[in-house]
Amino acid sequence: MDQPQTGAFVEMKGVTKHYAGVTALEGVDLTVAAGEAVCLAGENGSGKSTLIKILSGVEPASAGEIRIGGKTMSRFSPRMATAAGLMVIFQDFSLFPNLTVAENIAFAGELAGRRRFFSARSARAAARSVLDRVGVDIPLRARLETLPVAHKQIVAICRALACEARLIIMDEPTASLTEREVRALLGIIRLLKEQGVAVVFVSHKLAEVLEVSERVVVLRNGRKVVEGPAGTFDTASLAMHMTGREVRDAAPGPVPDSGDTLLRVEALDKPGSFRNVSFDLSAGEVLGITGLLGSGRTSLAKSLFGLVAPESGRIAVSGADVPLGDPVAASEARIGYVPEDRLTEGLFLTQSILRNVAVGRLGDHERGGFLQHRALAAEASGWLRRLKVKAPSVAAPVQSLSGGNQQRVVLARWMARAPRVLVLNGPSVGVDVGSKADIHDIIRDLGARGLGVIVISDDLPELLATCHRILVMKGGRMVEEIGAGSVTEDELAHRLAS
Amino acid sequence: MSGSRTEARLTEAPEFRLAVIAVLVFSLMAALSPDRFLSPQNLTSMAFQFPEFAILALAMTVTMMTGGIDLSVVGVANLSAVVAAIILTAFADPETTGGLAFIWLALALLASLTVGATAGLLNGILVSRFGLPPILATLGSGLVFTGLAVAMTGGSAVMGFPDIVFVIGNARILLVPVPLILFAILAAGLHVLLTRTGFGLRITMYGANPLAALCAAIDIDRILLRVYVIAGMFSSVAGMIIMSRANSAKADYGSSYLLLAVLIAVLGGVNPYGGYGRVVGVVLAVLSMQFLSSGLNMLQVSNFARELIWGGLLIFVMVVNTTNWAGFRTRRGPFKSS
Amino acid sequence: MTGVLTRNETLVAVVIALFCIVATASDPNFLTVTTLSDLLRASIVLGILATGAMLVLISGGIDVSFTAVAVSAMYVTTTLSLALWPDMPWYLIFAASILVGAGLGAINGIFIAGFGLPTLIVTLGTLSVFRGCLLTFVGSERISALPPEMRNFSRMMIARGTTEGGDFYALPWALAALALVVFLTAFILHKTMLGRSIFAIGGSVESARRIGINVRRIQFFVYVYVGALAGLAGILQGSMGRMADPFSLVGLELSVIAAVVLGGARLVGGYGTITGTLLGVALIVLVQNSLIVIGIPSTWQSVTIGLLILLGTGLPAFQAKRAAARAG
């Protein structure tokens, strides 16, 4: 257990990983000392997740060396990683919803100790002592599924500690936390560092954790592009390194004057998610709605499309009421919705690209009950071309496309239906930088053609680049309306968090 | 679209493998017992035998396409047969002939289809509105349907139909057995429905990803209701054929058909997690099963051994397809809790 | 889902209590020691099978082959014993049946844990394979001349007699087998890492893999254990029914699963309690044996069970759906 004098707990040297001809990581060096916090930043596809997999022993590196506590690890496996105290906390936490808090915390440790018998009492005692270590109180007998997200994350951290973690790798740790919860998390991280536990944050949004970190490492396209003390980075410079260019989208043009009210939302109310939300959207306008996770923005987005049923309130398109809580009715009122999670909500992964677009237009291409396959295919292909979807064949399954092209497929599906209002929930999540700019162009173009567009996002540069107006949500309420061009990104971030 | 299939090379399609299996089984049986297996009597008797369970397999197929299953098909078949049989025995008798017999038969058929549709509607409501897992919903409803048939008959067979009932399961039109004609119509109809209509494509898309279907503004509830109604009505057609061939109706006829229907659907390449299935595959699977079971019959293999071979075949096919399943299983993850 | 009132166990207990009240009201002889001991006897085989089925549901699978396992184990053991050693002591006969059951369960385990095939389809297949093998290769005759020790076991009573009121009662030692199974299963589920791992893989297979649970080994154990329980249930059935009937038990699998599901186990895995399962069994046994007492003809038995399943699973499913819609 004693630490060699080099000070590095984990050392990766020249780690490279190829997948079937694709290089996911190339010659990456990374060192983490005990008690140190390192930010590993990078866009999606930069090689972050590959690095996590290699560090946790899930995937072998194609080349390079991993040393833990000064010892070179050959044939590194998940079991060895665990034994060495390397723990990964995945974004979904990998906990057991049906077990108690105590079991979730203590189970992995007891498993590693190769115990045969289980005592609920000693599990509770073990869990209690770990919870005390991080200074948090969570009811030990509660079923995990009943906990809020922030508590689940703490349970996941505690589980890692119960396994005598010496390095905790956290994947997107702040993605689902509110401001206050992030504060609490940072407090815990400071405690851990004092106890000699090292932490690696892996994220594409790191501003929040910069203050507890010593070092920042930025990956791009599988290579390490920069490494330096955390103090020398800020949000803008991080973004610059991650994307490799100055991301400066053109600001949106003015709202066209025709400006009739297209969508009217009045006193929409859903206890527990959002309260008394009202706003108007005029034709040609791009409206941003932002807020931290838990502010009710996602629920509101879903309500606009009927995926969530508000308890009271009114949604009207051009003066005509839209029934609440019914996606089919919403789409008939020509409201469209591009979901946040493309893979599980947006796409039919095993189905062809063409079908994924055409599925929205089946009703309009039926003659006497039969589908007009040719017309349907021609129309869908037309939209795919207009949105510049790059695909070898439209008959290929949509899962063969890159994130950016996939998102364009979902957009094409809706544009084929000629919607009047389009709700985009996190339009560029998990999309590479180039596609992101294209998607922003598409959004601005949608507005220019007279659609009402609502962009729901926590990506502030994205909002500033596309929206005429930005509404800020906090604790389920609309707290502020900000005109385009009247704020900088930092101001916006400040108003979001304060 | 249709293009996605035609472009894939023919030999890569799972249906191609099935066609090979069907031909192999046929040749094997023909080689083992050429005089009897290839005799006209045997070929026609096969054509009379398989439609009843083949139609149940079609019903199973359409529910599996949505990622569901219908464990109530046999219950529905028997319940609708019992209802039809009660009408036929209460208002007509074996001496009834001519127009009157025809009218009662028509009414009985109508009643049986209504029973099938209602039963299917109930399944659909349980699955779509109440969110029951299809396995449990149809397991429970299957018991209810079978139980109703038991309660209506006291558990004994209902018999004594007018002669005209014999036609459904035993007559021929232009040498072709009537049950075979019924099966052909339903299979062709289902094929057209699945490949040529918006509804059919929506079934596939829903099966591929229910959540995405919801976000694409597909009317999910309506799809599920219609799918289970179709399954129910197909089951009642099967029930009519069973009734005619047995010349009676009973609550526990065809109890081995449930397994057989699942087996045929899976053998026919239908993905039990939804999103893929072709009628052609199911038809080929039906033929293989019938060749196999007739051939075994010629070879004097007992009924019990046939059950053994069916079960073995089901597992064998699944093992052979294991490589494909790996992909399906990972995809299933996100929906497990929903 | 919290709160004692909405739990399936409570619901089932209330239904059982109502049933008993109505039954006693219409027939004062219902609530007697005789009825009770009859019902207890009827619950033994079903209870053991249900305990096994529950374990499978908790692990996130479903098994419909256990009745075929039970009847095969029973019949094979009986035939072997008659052929080789008719005076084999009862405990060896039982052990043999349990072993045969575990062996057949291992076959399920190989396909499910080894090949990763869907559990419903594998066990539907093995249901007919086991039964087909039994009837084709072992025999399809009912055997009423059982090994004498098997018959003797069924006569061994924990207690028997007549109450002061003149009610006859008898509690066979077979009941102890059920108690043993319940105790052992409860111990495994709650006091061993193995048991907690079964809950864990039912809760999330992926998470279980990530924390280093050997998912395949756990699944394999589950199917072997369930096979062993089925072997025990089968031999008890033969011994108590004083006949080795190769056509018995099969067909009961859905009722058993019904009992477990009524008791609150969820098809998605990770949830299930022994108390709930036993209550579910009690309800099913009541319906099977005493429906007539509350004025429903026994021909309505399967309608009643079907409706109970639909209600018992429909209510929680509907609540969960509503809760999900509310949560947004």
Q: In the predicted model, is pLDDT for residue A482 greater than 60? A: yes
On whether residue A124 sits in a domain, the answer given is yes
**Interval B228-257: pLDDT, tens:** 999 999 999 999 999 999 989 998 888 878
Nearest to C89 by CA among C184, C179, C156, C140: C156
| Percentage of chain A modeled with pLDDT above 70 | 90
Residue A361: the pLDDT is 83
The β-bridge relationship of strands C157-162 and B176-177 is: unpaired
On whether residue A1 sits in a domain, the answer given is no
Is the domain of A363 the same as that of A432? yes
Question: Mean pLDDT throughout C145-166?
Answer: 80
| Percentage of chain A modeled with pLDDT above 90 | 14
How far is Cα B136 from Cα A25, in angstroms, rounded to an integer? 47
Domain B13-29+39-322 bears CATH identifier 1.10.3470: yes
H/E element, A418: none
How far is Cα C245 from Cα C45, in angstroms, rounded to an integer? 15
Chain A nearest C-alpha distance from C305 (Å) = 28
At residue B11 the predicted structure's pLDDT band, cuts being 50, 70 and 90, is low
**What's the CATH code of the domain at A305?**
3.40.50.300
How far is Cα B101 from Cα B91, in angstroms, rounded to an integer? 9
Three-class HEC string of B163-226? HHHHHHHHCEECCEEHHHHHHHHHHHHHHHHHHHCHHHHHHHHHHHCHHHHHHCCCCHHHHHHH
> What is the pLDDT of chain B when averaged over all its residues?
85
The whole domain housing A316 covers 261-497
How far is Cα A475 from Cα C25, in angstroms, rounded to an integer? 56
How far is Cα C265 from Cα C225, in angstroms, rounded to an integer? 18
| Residues 6-25 (B) with a CB less than 8 A from some CB of A | 7
| Residue carrying the six token digits 């039970």 | C70
Is the domain of A452 the same as that of A486? yes
Question: Mean pLDDT throughout A293-302?
Answer: 82
Contact C243, C84 (CB under 8 A): no
Is the domain of A175 the same as that of A37? yes
Nearest-by-CA chain A residue for C207:
A94
| ipTM score over 0.95, yes or no | no
Is the domain of A187 the same as that of A278? no
Q: Residue C141's CB: how many other CB atoms inside 10 A?
A: 12
Q: Does A94 touch chain C (CB under 8 A)?
A: yes
Which tokens is C146 given? 């059982």
For residue B258, give the amino acid letter: L
The DSSP output letter for A15 is E
User: In chain C, what residues touch A105 (CB-CB under 8 Å)?
Assistant: none
Nearest-by-CA chain C residue for A78:
C212
At residue B6 the predicted structure's pLDDT band, cuts being 50, 70 and 90, is very low
Q: Does A392 touch chain B (CB under 8 A)?
A: no
Q: What are the domain boundaries of chain B?
A: 13-29+39-322
Question: Mean pLDDT throughout B40-66?
Answer: 92
Contact C234, C74 (CB under 8 A): yes
Nearest to C124 by CA among C73, C79, C181, C67: C67
Which among C190, C199, C206 is the nearest to A94, CB-wise? C206
Interface test with A, best of C207, C217, C321, C322 (most A CBs within 10 A): C207
Using the beta-carbon criterion (under 8 Å), do B215 and A371 form an inter-chain contact?
no
The DSSP output letter for C296 is -
B21 or C80, which is more confident: C80
Q: In the predicted model, is pLDDT for residue C75 greater than 90? A: yes
Which tokens is C325 given? 């819609």
The total number of structural domains in chain A stands at 2
Nearest to A330 by CA among A308, A363, A346, A313: A308
Residue B127: the pLDDT is 93
Using the beta-carbon criterion (under 8 Å), do A350 and B276 form an inter-chain contact?
yes
Is the domain of A181 the same as that of A277? no
Question: Mean pLDDT throughout C15-36?
Answer: 85
Q: Does A303 touch chain C (CB under 8 A)?
A: yes
Nearest to C122 by CA among C109, C135, C134, C140: C109
Q: In the predicted model, is pLDDT for residue B146 greater than 90? A: yes
| Residue B174 buriedness (CB in 10 A; 0-12 / 13-18 / 19+) | exposed
| Residues 197-236 (C) with a CB less than 8 A from some CB of B | 206
How far is Cα A27 from Cα A39, in angstroms, rounded to an integer? 18
Q: In the predicted model, is pLDDT for residue B2 greater than 70? A: no
For residue C196, give the amino acid letter: R
At residue A5 the predicted structure's pLDDT band, cuts being 50, 70 and 90, is very low
Q: In the predicted model, is pLDDT for residue A299 greater than 90? A: no
- The dihedral formed by the CA atoms of B177, B178, B184 and B187, expressed in degrees to the nearest 10: -130
Q: At the top level of CATH, which class does the domain C8-320 belong to? A: mainly alpha
On whether residue A255 sits in a domain, the answer given is no
H/E element, C158: strand C157-162
| Residue carrying the six token digits 């495994």 | C188
Number of A–B residue contacts, CB under 8 Å: 91
On whether residue A249 sits in a domain, the answer given is no
Q: In the predicted model, is pLDDT for residue A332 greater than 80? A: yes
Is the domain of A288 the same as that of A434? yes
Is the domain of A301 the same as that of A175? no
| Percentage of chain C modeled with pLDDT above 70 | 97
User: In chain A, what residues touch B331 (CB-CB under 8 Å)?
Assistant: 349-350
| Residue carrying the six token digits 């997690």 | B273
How far is Cα B212 from Cα A303, in angstroms, rounded to an integer? 16
Helix or strand or coil: residue A218? strand
Residue A493: the pLDDT is 73
pTM summary value: 0.84
How far is Cα C284 from Cα C229, in angstroms, rounded to an integer? 19
Residue A337 Cα to chain centre, angstroms: 18
Q: In the predicted model, is pLDDT for residue C9 greater than 50? A: yes
How far is Cα C189 from Cα A168, in angstroms, rounded to an integer? 31
Is the domain of A119 the same as that of A199? yes
Residue A153: the pLDDT is 87
Q: In the predicted model, is pLDDT for residue C202 greater than 90? A: yes
Question: Mean pLDDT throughout C204-230?
Answer: 92
Contact C293, C300 (CB under 8 A): no
Q: Is A197 left (phi over 0), alpha (psi -120 to 50) or beta?
A: beta
Which among A95, A111, A115 is the nearest to C207, CB-wise? A95
For residue B23, give the amino acid letter: V
Helix or strand or coil: residue A24? strand
Residue B7: the pLDDT is 42
How far is Cα B77 from Cα B83, in angstroms, rounded to an integer? 10
> What is the pLDDT of chain A when averaged over all its residues?
83
How far is Cα B7 from Cα B11, in angstroms, rounded to an integer? 11
Which tokens is A203 given? 């994220």
Q: Does A180 touch chain C (CB under 8 A)?
A: no
User: In chain C, what residues touch B136 (CB-CB under 8 Å)?
Assistant: 261, 267, 309, 313
The DSSP output letter for A117 is B
Q: In the predicted model, is pLDDT for residue B3 greater than 60? A: no
Max Cα distance, chain B (Å): 61
**Interval C260-300: pLDDT, tens:** 988 888 888 899 999 999 999 999 998 888 888 887 888 88
How far is Cα B187 from Cα B178, in angstroms, rounded to an integer? 14
Contact C269, C202 (CB under 8 A): yes
Q: In the predicted model, is pLDDT for residue C2 greater than 80? A: no
Question: Mean pLDDT throughout A278-299?
Answer: 85
- Touching A (3+ Cβ pairs <8 A), the chains are B, C
Sign, CA torsion B321/B323/B324/B328: positive
B85 or A235, which is more confident: B85
Three-class HEC string of chain B? CCHHHHHCCHHHCHHHHHHHHHHHHHHHHHHHCHHHHCCHHHHHHHHHHHHHHHHHHHHHHHHHCCCCCCCCHHHHHHHHHHHHHHHHHHHCCCCCCHHHHHHHHHHHHHHHHHHHHHHHHHHHHHHHCCCCCHHHHHHHHHHHHHHHHHHHHCCCCEECCCHHHHHHHHCEECCEEHHHHHHHHHHHHHHHHHHHCHHHHHHHHHHHCHHHHHHCCCCHHHHHHHHHHHHHHHHHHHHHHHHHHHCEECCCCCCCHHHHHHHHHHHCCCCCCCCCCCHHHHHHHHHHHHHHHHHHHHCCCCHHHHHHHHHHHHHHHHHHCHHHHHHHHHHHHHHCCC
From B140-154, C111-125, C156-170, C240-254, the region with the lowest mean pLDDT: C156-170
